[in-house]
Amino acid sequence: MTTIQAQAPPAQARARRRPKPAHRDNRIAFLMLAPALVLLGIFVLWPLVYAWYVSFFNWSFYTESVFVGLRNFRQVLADPVFWASIGRGLRFSVIVVPAILILAFVFANLVKAMGQRMGTLLKVSIYIPTVISGVIASIVFVLIYEYRQGLLNWLIGLVGFENQPWLGSASTALLALTAPAIWLGLGLASLIMLAGLLDIPESYYESAELDGANWWQRTVFITIPLMRNIGLYLLVTCFVATIQQYELPLIMTSGGPVQSTLLPNLHIFLRFTNDDTVGYSIAAALLLFVVLGGLSAVIFRVINSEKAVDA
């Protein structure tokens, strides 16, 4: 007796096949990321591409732009003022960034050690500068540094020192800008540090304390290693934000005296306001982008972030 097995047509067999779960998950993930990718393309990639395009022209808002090739880049690379502003920004960052990280770590530990009420009050107090406009902070510190009636000169006068032109001297102007920069950046960094501290299990500290470890040993061997990722993130973001500081030097000193507070973004802005050097300013901004990207990569390389990833 012959057994006849019915076979489904190939078309029907293909119709019954379901997509593999991995492929379906990839499609769902792409659909969820699509809005963010579209916004990224509109607000980040397209402006960047257009900036590169403009940098090859002698751009003008009033006359027809002329293609000049790499001339703008050659002018920027040969401009000692541009490189001096970057060096000045690096010196500014060397003071501001470590101060923010150290103070944020200290305040985060204080908040964690306090009770709920006092900890909440301290968190609010630390975060207040973050929501204050940089313009307002600049005005407040200009009044603090004022030569005749400023708070700082009044305080040093109490101990017998003479009034100092904090913003009027090339030797002290850049240093005077570090205080408001630290004050403005401290709040958010402290809250991020606090979140990292609270994420560390208390059992680690309890075990170390049972083994006789003091506060310093617990901090060095437990807290700092487990917060290495957060420290790296804050180091890079604070460095990039500090070297690109714009409002403080513009409002407090206008880049002076004798360009002692002329940071990179302020230099680029001043060139952009001149219709003859718009192309130069765009080329300078792109070169600054490359420099900051390279320095950030060096920071990641030096700290060796691969070993900082939590298991």
Question: What are the structural domain ranges in the chain?
Answer: 88-308
Tens of pLDDT, residue by residue over 98-145, are: 999 999 999 999 888 887 788 788 888 888 888 888 899 999 999 999
Rounded to an integer, what distance in angstroms lies between the CA atom of residue 180 and that of residue 253?
Answer: 13
Q: Are the CB atoms for 279 and 68 separated by under 8 Å?
A: yes
| Span of 27-36, 99-108, 197-206, 214-223 with lowest mean pLDDT | 27-36
pTM of the full predicted structure? 0.84
Distance CA 195, CA 204 (A): 17
- 33-67 burial, b if ≥16 CB within 10 A, otherwise e? eeeeeeeeeeeeeeeeeeeeebbbbbbeeeeeeee
The chain-wide mean pLDDT, for the chain, equals 87
CATH number of 88-308: 1.10.3720.10
Give the separation between CA 143 and CA 115, rounded to whole angstroms.
36
Which helix (H) or strand (E) covers residue 189, if one does?
helix 173-198
